Homo-oligomer: A and B are copies of this chain.
Amino acid sequence: MSEQTRTEIGSLGEFGLIDHLTRNIEIHNASTILGVGDDAAVIDHFGKQTVVSTDLLLEGVHFDLAYTPLKHLGYKAVIVNLSDIYAMNAIPTQITMSLGISNRFSLEALDEFYEGVYAACNRYQVDLIGGDTTTSQKGFVISVTAIGEVAPDKFVKRSTAQKGDLLCVSGDLGGAYVGLLFLEREKRIFIESPGVQPDLENETYVIGRLLKPEARKDIVEFFAEKEITPTSMMDISDGLSSEILHLCKNSNLGCVLYEEKIPVEEAMKTAAFKFEIDPTACALSGGEDYELLFTIPQADYDKLVLNEQISVIGYMTEPEKGANIITKGGGTHAITAQGWNPLK
């Protein structure tokens, strides 16, 4: 962001601002019949079903502007919503974005935020079709609704895993949490000693996982290509433990999870050790990785074994057996949720 120019947002008025922010919108989808600029947008999914998800992100609760570049924040605000659509085995097609903006934001700052929003829209080929822009007395408020499409009744719920199914996860876990630990540490150091330069050069992997997550479009496309239909699926926003317990509860099943099968990246392990914390704990309890957790019938194992972006981490059991983790040492423990409680 240039420090030279500061345009007050109020000087444009609501409609001037909307015109400015939406002047370069490109429409990627034939399903977008009417976009920004009327009382409502119009979508036609042409015989497919419509999938809808929404997230509210609040400054000080979900993000800290002290170490979150606005462009990354705009990108991430879109991604976390697209992730929910992919988690239904659907393809995102549109978003709406509502913002509450405090007067410490300049137009230039808002432009940076929207650069990230449009970068995500372009990468994932979704259309920004509406929203609401208003002032906020305190703090930046972001509300995104993502809309997608799926062939009739081909969506995948959390509640339909079957006994004996393989429990799988995409990508690797725990990185975003360790990235957060580094940024929180640097913020403390900066507050205490503003002259000290941040020491984050070796941590680009984990910090990137936190600040610029991606949604697993590739996995959903891989399913389509290989004709795999997961029996159940959800995205991992709160930590693996918590999400596995949701899947078990909703599907009325138990599971066995193998610690040694949980995918963690070398860079995350090295980073976690700097805080003297167990990488497995980061994967189990850290949030915001936005990977997919899903189950498939055992018969589909051959179809995905060669995909290095997918790990089989366990299997589903009868509910009486509970949800258990078998540690690297061979011990069996009940899985407990340490996930984030956004209400505390």
CB neighbours (8 Å) of A10 from chain B are 341, 343-344
CA distance A134 to B50 in the complex (A): 25
Tell yes or no: A60 within 8 A of B by CB: yes
At the interface, yes or no: A53 with Cβ under 8 Å from chain B? yes
Q: Per a CB cutoff under 8 Å, which of B51, B146, B341 touches A14?
A: B341
Chain B residues within 8 Å of A50, by CB: 42-45, 50, 147
- The tally of residues in A whose CB lies under 8 Å from a CB in B reads 76
User: Could you mark each residue 144-159 of chain A with 1 if its beta carbon is under 8 Å from any beta carbon of chain B, else 0?
Assistant: 0111101011010111
Copies of this chain in the oligomer:
2
A139 within 8 A of B: yes
Residue A55 is within 8 A (CB to CB) of chain B in the complex: yes
* Stretch touching chain B among A88-96, A175-183, A273-281, A313-321: A88-96
CB contact between A99 and one of B38, B56, B60 (< 8 Å): that residue: B56
Task: Please measure, in the bound complex, the distance between the C-alpha atom of A335 and the C-alpha atom of B277, giving whole angstroms.
Answer: 66
Contacts of A88 in B (CB 8 A): 38-40, 42
Interface residues of A in 48-77 (CB under 8 A from B): 49-56, 58-62
Q: Shortest distance in angstroms between A92's beta carbon and chain B's nearest beta carbon?
A: 10
Q: Is A135 an interface residue (CB 8 A)?
A: yes
Supplied contacts A40-B148, A43-B49, 12 more A-B pairs, CB within 8 Å: A14-B341, A15-B246, A38-B159, A40-B52, A41-B51, A42-B51, A43-B51, A54-B98, A56-B99, A58-B136, A98-B143, A100-B141
